[in-house]
Chain A
């Protein structure tokens, strides 16, 4: 189960999506929405909010591949844990590469709960940007 390593992919955040994200979560700091304010604060462009790398990772081609590989229906999935370690700020337009591995898999309660731990390294031109670690929990539901 922990042999799964998906091919890396590269994507970038665009300004309009960062502005939408900020609006939805009630973020008022202009470094996420106003390019002038971001530059005045020392950033090259709009700063990604702390959790936005998770959103970018969902740009992966075929994001359902992991669940399919594990035989998990997305309705059964709960988010168990999410961690971010930041090495360098990322801004709109940065070409960010995401490389993900499944690093752990275990079951509890006779398989009623299945845990999948994934780690993603995010880089920009070879420079480390962040490390994400995600634990998802699949619970067996009576699906119709």
Chain B
């Protein structure tokens, strides 16, 4: 028997998806500050960034994680995310254009439910890795 569904391939080693984004604008940072309740001025106020010795503002880590979560859900379709975690490896400067790439690294069973682990790496155009993430998802579609 072979499955004929054309859903994502939950086999170890398969690339499950890629999401490429436009450069992150200052407008996006301002809107995300309001939308996400994170009002830390280091992300939106050049004066504050400079007072901390930085050249410019940089993106909220949680903006990249929100994109990453969006990417995972787009890749897996109507399936459940059990857990999601990231390490923020490097900051994302304003105008950075993150790319998210997901690879299945493990498939396991949890009391009759098949789970897949998707490792997500986020990189900028110059190759800088900004996030390393991991999502555990159910491979069966939601009922």
Contacts and interface: CB of A to CB of B under 8 A. Distances in A.
B34 A20 contact: yes
B97 to A, nearest CB: 13
B35 A51 contact: no
A51 B65 contact: yes
Contacts of A133: 85
B55 to A, nearest CB: 13
Interface residues of B, number: 40
A92 B56 CA distance: 35
B130 to A, nearest CB: 11
A83 B21 CA distance: 23
A79 interface: yes
Interface in A61-80: 74-80
Contacts of B87: 80-81
A17 B35 contact: yes
Contact of A26 (B52, B62, B70, B82): B70
A82 to B, nearest CB: 6
Contact of B70 (A27, A42, A55, A141): A27
Contact of A82 (B62, B72, B74): B62
Contacts of B35: 17, 20-21, 23-25, 55
Interface string B18-34: 00010000001001101
Contact of A79 (B34, B51, B82, B88): B88
B107 interface: no
A50 B82 CA distance: 10
Contacts of B69: 49-51
A1 interface: no
B36 A58 contact: yes
A21 B36 contact: yes
B4 interface: no
27 contacts: A17-B35, A24-B31, A25-B32, A25-B66, A41-B78, A49-B70, A50-B72, A50-B73, A51-B84, A55-B62, A74-B40, A75-B40, A75-B52, A78-B91, A79-B61, A81-B88, A82-B61, A82-B65, A82-B88, A83-B84, A83-B85, A83-B86, A86-B80, A86-B81, A86-B83, A141-B53, A144-B53
Given A24-B35, A25-B70, A81-B86, 4 more contacts: A27-B70, A55-B37, A75-B48, A82-B88
Interface of B: 21, 28, 31-32, 34-38, 40-42, 48, 51-53, 60-63, 65-67, 69-70, 72-74, 78, 80-88, 91, 142
